[in-house]
Amino acid sequence: MTTHDEDKIIAQQARIEQLTNFIKYAQVSSGVCCCGDSMEGHPSPMTCGHSPVDMWDYHSGELLEAYPDDLSALRAHDEKLRAAFQAGAASRDAEVAMWVERVNSWTRDCERLADERDQLRTEMNEWRGQAHRSQSDADRLKEENDQLRAQINVLREALSKTLARRLCYEIAGQTDEEVDRQTGAIGNNWR
C-alpha cells in the first residue's frame, strides 16, 4: 500500500467519524412516522397499535448500530488489511531477494565462463604460435634438407665422374700416381 492510499484511508476514516457524529447528535427529524403518518397529530399508540417513531431517528439508529461510535471495527479491518499487505510485501520482498540472488549467481557464472573462455583463447593463441613456430622450423629443416640433397647430388656426380675417370685411366694402364696427378687427387688411394 502506498502512502497516497494510506492518506486516502485516513481521510475517509475522519469523514466517516464526522458523519457518524452528525447523524448521532444533529437535531434533525423527518416529521413522518415509519407508518407514514405525520408525527404531528399522530394517533395515540392505543388507537394505532404502535408508538410513533420518526423515520429519521429509526434509520439513523440502525445506521449507527451498524457502525460503532469509535469506529473500532473499521480500524480493526484497516489493521488486518495493513497486516495482509505487509505480509504480502514481505513475501514479495523475499521472492525479489531470491530472484536477485539467482541473477547474481547467473552473473557470477557468466563472468566465470567468460574468464575460462578468455583463458582458453589465450592457450589457443599460444598453441597457434607454437604451431606457427613448428611450421617455420619444419620449413627451415625442409629447406636445409633440400640443400643437403643438392650438395649430396653434386658430390655424387663429382664422385661418379672421378671414379669414371679413374676407371678409364686404370683401363688405360696408368698407375695411381699418374691418375692422381691428372685428376687432381693428392695422396688418395681410390682402390
Q: What is the pLDDT of residues 47-97, one digit of tens each?
A: 888 888 888 888 777 777 776 555 666 667 677 777 777 777 778 888 889
8 has pLDDT over 90: no
pLDDT of 85 reads 74
Q: Around Cβ 176, how many Cβ atoms within 10 Å?
A: 16
pLDDT of 185 reads 55
Q: How far is C-alpha 139 from the chain's CA centre?
A: 50
Beta-strand runs (E) in the chain: none
pTM assigned to the model: 0.34
In whole angstroms, what is the distance from residue 144 CA to residue 138 CA?
A: 10
187 has pLDDT over 50: no
pLDDT of 2 reads 65
In whole angstroms, what is the distance from residue 53 CA to residue 55 CA?
A: 6
Q: How far is C-alpha 63 from the chain's CA centre?
A: 57
pLDDT of 92 reads 84
- For the chain, the domains span 3-70
pLDDT of 149 reads 94
Residue type, 189: N
Residue range 4-22: average pLDDT?
81
pLDDT of 1 reads 55
CA dihedral 45, 47, 49, 55 (to 10 degrees): -60
pLDDT of 191 reads 45
107 has pLDDT over 90: yes
Residue range 98-103: average pLDDT?
93
